[in-house]
C-alpha cells in the first residue's frame, strides 16, 4: 500500500475515533485528539470565507478544551440530546509539509432528543492541520466551518 493511502487511512481513522468519542459522550477524551497548543474553532462559513474572526467557539489550547469539557459535564444545564456524526473520507491537501498534514473532510451532525425525531443539527467541513507524534496523529488545528445559517438552540457539545 502506498504512503498516500496509508496516510488517508490514518486520517479517516482519526476522524472516526473523534466522532465516536463525541457520539458516545466520552467528552473527557476529546481534548486528547489535540496537541497542547492546538486551536479548535467553530465558525460560520460566511465569516470564514470573508476572513472575519467571529466564531461561535474559539479555543486556543488543550487546557481551554478541558475547561469546555468541565462546563459541558459539570455546569451547563440543558435538555438532554444525543448526537451522531457522519464524516466523509478526508481530502489530504498537502502531505507533511513542514511536519504538518493538511486535510479536509465534510461532516453532518444529527441531534436526537429522547422520545423525539432526529434532526440535522450542524453541517459543514473540518479544515485540519495534523501532526504526526509518537502517540499517533494529533490535531494542531481543527476549524469546523458550518454551512447552517442557524444553529439550533445553542452549541453545547463539540462538533
In whole angstroms, give the CA distance from residue 80 to residue 6.
Answer: 38
Kindly indicate the confidence band of residue 76, based on its pLDDT and cuts at 50, 70 and 90.
Answer: confident
Question: pLDDT tens digits, residue range 88-143?
Answer: 999 998 665 677 999 999 999 999 989 899 999 999 999 999 999 999 999 999 99
CATH architecture of 3-146: Roll (3.10)
Question: pLDDT tens digits, residue range 64-74?
Answer: 999 999 998 88
**Of 141, 118, 148, residue with least CA distance to 59:** 141
Residue 21 · residue 67 · CB < 8 Å: no
Q: Would you state the pLDDT for residue 95?
A: 65
**Of 147, 122, 92, residue with least CA distance to 22:** 122
| Beta carbons within 8 Å of 96's beta carbon, 6+ residues apart | 7, 132
Three-state DSSP class for residue 33: helix
Amino acid at each position: 500500500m502506498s504512503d498516500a493511502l496509508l496516510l488517508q487511512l490514518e486520517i479517516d481513522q482519526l476522524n472516526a475515533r473523534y466522532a465516536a468519542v463525541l457520539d458516545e459522550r466520552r467528552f473527557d477524551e476529546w481534548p486528547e485528539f489535540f496537541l497542547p497548543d492546538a486551536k479548535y474553532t467553530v465558525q460560520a462559513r460566511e465569516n470564514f470565507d470573508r476572513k472575519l474572526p467571529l466564531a461561535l467557539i474559539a479555543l486556543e489550547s488543550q487546557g481551554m478544551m478541558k475547561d469546555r469539557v468541565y462546563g459541558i459535564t459539570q455546569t451547563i444545564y440543558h435538555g438532554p440530546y444525543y448526537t451522531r456524526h457522519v464524516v466523509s473520507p478526508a481530502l489530504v491537501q498537502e502531505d507533511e509539509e513542514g511536519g504538518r498534514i493538511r486535510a479536509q473532510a465534510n461532516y453532518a451532525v444529527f441531534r436526537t432528543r429522547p422520545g423525539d425525531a432526529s434532526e440535522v443539527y450542524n453541517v459543514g467541513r473540518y479544515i485540519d492541520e495534523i501532526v504526526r507524534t509518537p502517540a499517533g496523529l494529533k490535531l494542531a488545528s481543527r476549524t469546523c466551518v458550518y454551512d447552517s445559517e442557524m444553529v439550533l438552540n445553542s452549541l453545547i457539545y463539540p462538533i
